[in-house]
């Protein structure tokens, strides 16, 4: 069970997933020193004012707010409108959100974001998020700090100042190595900050050879977790497991029979740092 200061919200449809931390758990979960510094500035501003920080205290001075990296959302009812998106944010996401309502943006994560954003402007407490965006074909994982602000002491208008950074700085290198491999390969990573089984590890990459063996389309990944991968192997590809998994030198070896092609498949599961890599050998 997660500690009281952690709230977890999962949305796995379409390969999207979001998790949310609040309270003291934020500093233990947050990886980015830059995001930590943004939160520390928010805390200092709140303490000096004795209330929720004002918009003018944290937004408008580039050297303090790093506005090129920020997104600013204005609360409108139970929805939010993007009133600012920095140039770096546009580059990282590959999409422009300025002027758009959060509810109008396609994807499976919008309702979860709205729920947690509304909670943040209600209790005026920051939120820290880790998520995999469905805006990226490679399901890049991100971390985000959400900082509530107000227009004045009466809290006439409420805003959210957002900063995001990729969690997987090795992903492009891993992708390049995967794409060059003649062996089928699938990479997954365990959820940060929680004790979860391998079944819940999030799928990050599936190389071309693995897509061919698993009969997946080139432009999307139809699975989100290792549990989904196992289900795909059994129910979609209908590979029959031949015997019990064997473990040797830290690797797990599972034998399958592809009846359609009348050949045996060996799956080798190998932990590499924060990742788990599945090697598919035929």
pLDDT at 91: 73
CB atoms within 10 A of CB 141: 20
2.40.128, 3.30.450, 3.40.50, 3.40.91: which CATH number matches 6-166? 3.30.450
**Chain Cα centroid distance, residue 62:** 27
Backbone angles phi, psi at 224, to 5 degrees: -115, -30
pLDDT reported for residue 13: 42
Question: Of 141, 119, 121, 120, which Cα lies nearest the Cα of 130?
Answer: 141
> CB-side exposure of 58: number of CA atoms within 13 Å?
31
144 close to 54: Cβ distance less than 8 angstroms: no
Q: What is the C-alpha to C-alpha distance for residues 96 and 82, in angstroms, rounded to an integer?
A: 10
What pLDDT is recorded for position 138?
Answer: 45
Give the residue range(s) of CATH 3.30.450 domains in the chain.
6-166, 171-281
pLDDT score, position 141: 77
According to DSSP, the residues that pair with 80 across neighbouring strands are 75
pLDDT at residue 191, rounded to an integer: 59
CB neighbourhood size of 186 (10 A)? 26
- In the block, tokens 């501003």 appear at 45
Contact at 8 Å (CB) between 71 and 145?
A: no
Q: Which class is 171-281 in CATH?
A: alpha beta
- Report yes or no: 257 and 237 within 8 Å, Cβ to Cβ: no
Beta carbons of 246 and 252 less than 8 angstroms apart: yes
E strands in 190-272: 202-206, 240-241, 246-248, 251-258, 263-272
State the 10-residue block means of pLDDT for the chain, 282 residues long.
47 62 84 89 75 74 67 95 88 80 84 92 92 58 91 87 79 70 87 64 88 88 90 94 91 93 93 84 90
Q: What does DSSP assign to residue 223?
A: -
Cβ atoms < 10 Å from Cβ of 251: 13
């Amino acid at each position: 069970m997660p500690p009281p200061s952690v709230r977890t919200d999962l949305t796995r449809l379409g390969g999207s997933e979001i998790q949310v931390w609040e309270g003291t758990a934020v500093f233990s979960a947050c990886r980015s020193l830059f995001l930590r510094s943004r939160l520390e500035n928010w805390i200092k501003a709140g303490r000096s004012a004795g209330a929720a920080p004002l918009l003018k205290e944290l937004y408008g001075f580039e050297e303090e707010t790093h506005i090129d990296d920020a997104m600013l959302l204005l609360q409108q009812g139970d929805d939010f409108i993007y009133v600012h998106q920095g140039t770096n944010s546009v580059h990282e996401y590959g999409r422009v959100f300025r002027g758009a309502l959060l509810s109008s943006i396609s994807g499976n994560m919008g309702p979860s974001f709205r729920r947690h954003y509304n909670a943040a402007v209600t209790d005026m407490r920051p939120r820290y998020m880790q998520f995999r965006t469905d805006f990226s074909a490679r399901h890049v994982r991100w971390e985000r700090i959400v900082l509530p602000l107000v227009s004045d002491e009466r809290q006439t208008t409420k805003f959210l100042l957002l900063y995001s950074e990729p969690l997987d700085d090795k992903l492009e290198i891993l992708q390049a190595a995967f794409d060059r491999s003649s062996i089928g390969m699938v990479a997954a990573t365990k959820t940060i900050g929680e004790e979860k089984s391998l079944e819940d590890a999030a799928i990050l990459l599936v190389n071309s050879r693995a897509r061919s063996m698993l009969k997946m389309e080139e432009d999307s990944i139809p699975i989100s977790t290792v549990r989904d991968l196992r289900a795909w192997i059994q129910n979609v590809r209908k590979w029959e497991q031949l015997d019990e998994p064997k473990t040797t030198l830290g690797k797990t070896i599972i034998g399958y029979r592809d009846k359609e092609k009348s050949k045996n498949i060996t799956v080798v599961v190998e932990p590499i740092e924060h990742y788990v890599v599945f090697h598919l050998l035929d």
